[in-house]
Amino acid sequence: MVRAPCCEKMGLKKGPWTPEEDQILVNYIQIHGHGNWRALPKQAGLLRCGKSCRLRWTNYLRPDIKRGNFTREEEDTIINLHELLGNKWSAIAARLPGRTDNEIKNVWNTHLKKRLKHNNHGNNRQQLIDSPKDIKKQQPVKFTAPVTADSPQQSISDASILTTSDNNSNSNSRSTTFTMNTETNEVGVSEIDENFWSEVLSADNSSMTADFQVVVDQFFTSSLEAANDYGSGVYDTDSNMDFWHDIFTGAADLPEF
DNA sequence: AAAGGCACCAACCGCACGGTG
DNA sequence: CCACCGTGCGGTTGGTGCCTT
């Protein structure tokens, strides 16, 4: 038994939105907020399902949407993030203010995939970009490194738990925990799995300590630079990963940036 | 000028997940 | 524990306009 699409109810409109419908939706949300999406169309007087309203608002009508073509810089960011995260469009969009996941997905499918194919014809790295999930099939990397600052000699043969805590406040102490799994891709390079990147990059900043936010931001910047360098053969993935692993686990201090 | 092919992108669909009663 | 509901996400579709023949 297949669930009927929500818009198949009698009288609900599908397809492109008219300017009048847009205006009704914008006016309603500006006054009342969106609250419950399912109840919204009825309250606003729209013959649409809640899902359609939410999509129209988040992908097109939201005031903070950036319109117009993507800059080269934005495209490069998408390419690098896609290399890190795979098809996690919402996580990528979280790093591109004003751009929606849908928009990024469209740009990737229509422009960037072709551009990469053209630029990296016959290159092993391109296989990885086309099918990032292949990484999961690889054997885990076996290496010994500190797990936490508290137990620096522990082995992390397959996974590690990273914890940082706010040292500045005992009473309001918080911690943020991420799980890091490492794998080897098809060209023999050690990589940290995409779920880790997804968790870190899409994490709610308010739940992180200030110190950890610095680490994440610097890690992100470094990863982008590294990804840029990789194409020219300069990037040493293994040493880069070891470096950041030590920073994350407290085995090394965060250097001056 | 007309027809067919192609590219683009807004919108839809199905699924997964978290919250709640 | 379970069912239901609301929401978010990623994959896909279909309409439109441009380009080529």
Distance A3 CA to B20 C1' (A): 22
The percent of residues above 90 in pLDDT, for chain A, comes to 0
Task: Return the bridge partners of A182, or none.
Answer: A192
Domain range A11-61, CATH class: mainly alpha
Q: Which residue is nearest to nucleotide C14 (CA to C1')?
A: A15
CB A53 within 8 A of CB A37: yes
Closest nucleotide to A51, Cα to C1': C7
- Has this prediction a pTM greater than 0.75? no
The mean pLDDT value for A97-112 works out to 86
Which has the closest alpha carbon to A138: A83, A191, A196? A191
The mean pLDDT value for A147-173 works out to 31
Q: Which residue is nearest to nucleotide B15 (CA to C1')?
A: A3
Domain ranges in chain A with CATH number 1.10.10.60: 11-61, 72-130
Helix, strand, coil % (nearest 5) of chain A? 50, 10, 40
Between A54-63, A71-80, A243-252, the lowest mean confidence (pLDDT) is in: A243-252
Domain A72-130 fold is Arc Repressor Mutant, subunit A (1.10.10)
The mean pLDDT value for A118-137 works out to 40
| CA pair distance A94, A49, nearest whole angstrom | 26
Averaged pLDDT of chain A: 60
